[in-house]
Amino acid sequence: MKRLFLLLLLCILFVSLRSGYSTDKHEIIIKPTKYIATIAIPPFSKKESAQGLKKGAFSEILYRDLEISGFFRRPQNQNFVDETHRLDLSRDKIDFAEWKRLGCSFLVKGDYQLKEKTITADCYLYDVNTGQRVFGKNFGDYSRTSFRSLAHRISDEIIRYVTHEQGIASTRIVYISKQGRGKEMYIMDVDGFNQCPLTKDGNLAATPCWGYNTTEIYYTSYKEYNPDLWALRLKDGKSGVISSHPGFNLSPSWCEKTRKIALTLSKDGNSEIYTMDHRGGGYKRLTFHGAIDSSPCFSPEGNQIVFTSDRTGTPQIYVMDSEGLNVRRLTYKGSYNDSAVWSPKGDRLACVSRVGGAFHIFLMNVDGTDWLQLTNGTSNNEDPSWAPDGHHIAFTSNRTGSPQIYMICDDGSNLVQLTFKGKNQSAAWSPFLY
């Protein structure tokens, strides 16, 4: 118990140091907003007369997914959309001129069919300006209770055909939530729905990351009275310890290409960066410094690791080869920079930097140049995590009074709040799941 108390005391001291006042300033770069197209989505019709989904269920999920993407917006008046759709059905023909008068660039029409245990949907995307059908597809068979997953898949197809990039609606986010005595690990859809707990330990969980082949989650838990690293298998919810060295086993980062975990261990009396395999074997120490080295993150190719160190007196961001060689400092602006994470495209880093007493999310090139501030204000914004498309970032903010999970586009636009209940932090965005 004494050791646990000392560990908790160190955590409290670390948080206290982070909340100190600073007058750090950064140059803010404003990027032009991306083109946003108006898309109309009338309610999907039901093929049978049996009881189906609530009217507009599909269209509302699609609207939210597409708005979250930052590429689309809904028409100003959904009643006009529904009426124009009704007239199309009455004459069995799409009046593209009328849809264009409503200001729409794209139109989605569809229907769904409920079977005994499954649901399928037919969906059609039209380019209003040309009057041409972009695609027509059948989506199924999903379980009847997974209609939201079916809608997310349709959203991703729309994104793919219009932007030629893979959509993120079918990805998921793992995070830490405090809704009772302990902090448990939760998972949710990218639109903030389908929130459910992954752990029910009644203890403290922290710093989750997606792991082996997107089938496992690695996280730190105190349920054995030491901050050990655990693996949870998503298929059946089974979990087990993979690193239980004395002291911290914290902040894992998984690289699928090298099949290694980078993490912070304090087993030798100081916080250092190590790597190991996904079962805890073959661990190797990478940093050898008297300062605190923490928060490692692999590059997409697995050949570099970015991390935080206070070896110059203040927390700054460094990068090194994956074997611990060629250590070089990246950040020189400000007196507190932390939590750097690599973009899935390998071209940028997201990080946290203190500005005027508050922490904010920044982007920069991998050589530390061209800083872009994504958040502002007096609230704290921390724990950045990239979406697999490299265009969206999830993060924690206390702008409403309690910590919640938000997402934002990589140009600082389209801020969306994802969680509202309890206290939520440490989002970890999944890779593409199909």
> Smallest Cα–Cα separation from 391: which of 326, 328, 338, 347?
347
pLDDT(18) > 50: no
pLDDT band at 28 (very low <50, low <70, confident <90, very high): very low
CA distance 13 to 314: 15
pLDDT digits (tens, 9 = 90+) for 46-94: 887 657 788 889 999 999 999 999 999 999 999 999 999 999 999 999 9
Of the listed ranges 23-32, 163-172, 201-210, 404-413, the least confidently predicted one is: 23-32
Q: Report residue 198 as tokens.
A: 């992954």
- Residue 95 CB contacts under 8 Å (≥ 6 apart), including other chains: 84, 87, 88
Instruction: Specify whether the CB–CB gap between 157 and 150 falls below 8 A.
Output: no
User: What whole-number distance in Å separates Cα of residue 33 and Cα of residue 319?
Assistant: 31
Res 14 pLDDT > 60: no
373-409 per-residue burial string, b: 16 or more CB within 10 A, e: under 16: bbbeeeebbbbbbbbbbbbbbbbbbbbeeebbbbbbb
Determine the longest span between alpha carbons in the chain, in angstroms: 78
pLDDT of residue 8: 35
- Give the torsion sign (CA, 129, 151, 63, 392): negative
Class of domain 172-429: mainly beta
433 pLDDT more than 50: yes
| DSSP secondary structure of 338-404 | EEEEE-TTSSEEEEEEEETTEEEEEEEETTS-S-EE---SSS-EEEEEE-TTSSEEEEEE-TTSS-E
Stretch among 19-33, 282-296, 393-407 having the lowest mean pLDDT: 19-33
CA atoms within 13 A on the CB side of 250: 24
- Which backbone phi and psi does 68 adopt, to 5 degrees? -60, -35
Looking at every residue in the chain, the average pLDDT score rounds to 91
Above 90 in pLDDT, residue 15?
no
3-state secondary structure of 8: helix
What SS3 class is residue 13?
helix
Taking only the tens place, the pLDDT of each residue in 30-42 is 333 467 999 999 9
CA–CA gap between residue 259 and residue 426 (Å, rounded): 23
pLDDT (tens digit, 9 = 90+) per residue, 272-330? 999 999 999 999 999 999 999 999 999 999 999 999 999 999 999 999 999 999 999 99
Q: What is the pTM of this model?
A: 0.91
* Torsion 373-379-383-388 (CA) sign: negative
Tell me, what's the pLDDT at 25?
41
Res 49: pLDDT: 60
Q: Please state the domain extents for the chain.
A: 37-163, 172-429
Question: Mean pLDDT across the stretch 89-109?
Answer: 97
Q: Return the residue matching tokens 């298929």.
A: 235
Q: Which CATH class is domain 37-163?
A: alpha beta
Q: Say which amino acid occupies 385.
A: S
Q: How far is CA 337 from CA 15, 289, 295, 310, 318, in A?
A: 14, 18, 11, 10, 10
Give CA–CA dist 276/52, Å, rounded: 50
Can you tell me the distance from the alpha carbon of 17 to that of 383, in angstroms, rounded to the nearest whole number? 17
Work out the pLDDT band at 349, boundaries 50, 70, 90.
very high
Q: Is the pLDDT of residue 136 over 60?
A: yes
Check whether 5 has a pLDDT greater than 60: no
C-alpha span between 75 and 289 (Å, rounded): 57
Res. 146 pLDDT band, cuts 50 70 90 = very high
Give the C-alpha separation, 202 to 223, whole Å: 8
pLDDT at 30 (0 to 100): 32
pLDDT attached to residue 21: 32
338 pLDDT band (50/70/90 cuts)?
A: very high
Q: According to the model, what pLDDT value does residue 50 have?
A: 58
Which of 187, 98, 192 minimizes the C-alpha distance to 426? 187
Q: What is the mean pLDDT of residues 331-360?
A: 96
Buried-state track 145-166, b at ≥16 Cβ within 10 A, e below 16: eebbbbbbbbbbbbbeebbeee
What values do phi and psi take at 78, rounded to 5?
A: -70, -25
What does the pLDDT average to over 343-360? 96
Report the pLDDT value the prediction gives residue 4, as an integer from 0 to 100: 35
For 267, phi then psi, to 5°, come to -65, -25
pLDDT of residue 365 exceeding 70: yes
- Share above pLDDT 70 across residues of the chain, in percent, rounded to a whole number: 92
Distance of alpha carbon 186 from alpha carbon 61, whole angstroms: 21
- Half-sphere CA count of 162, side-chain side, radius 13 A: 27
Residue-wise pLDDT for 168-227, tens only, equals 999 999 999 998 889 999 999 999 999 999 999 999 999 999 999 999 999 999 999 999
Q: CA 123, CA 143: separation in Å to the nearest integer?
A: 18
Residues paired with residue 240 on neighbouring β-strands, in sequence order? 231
Tokens linked to 323? 């074997």
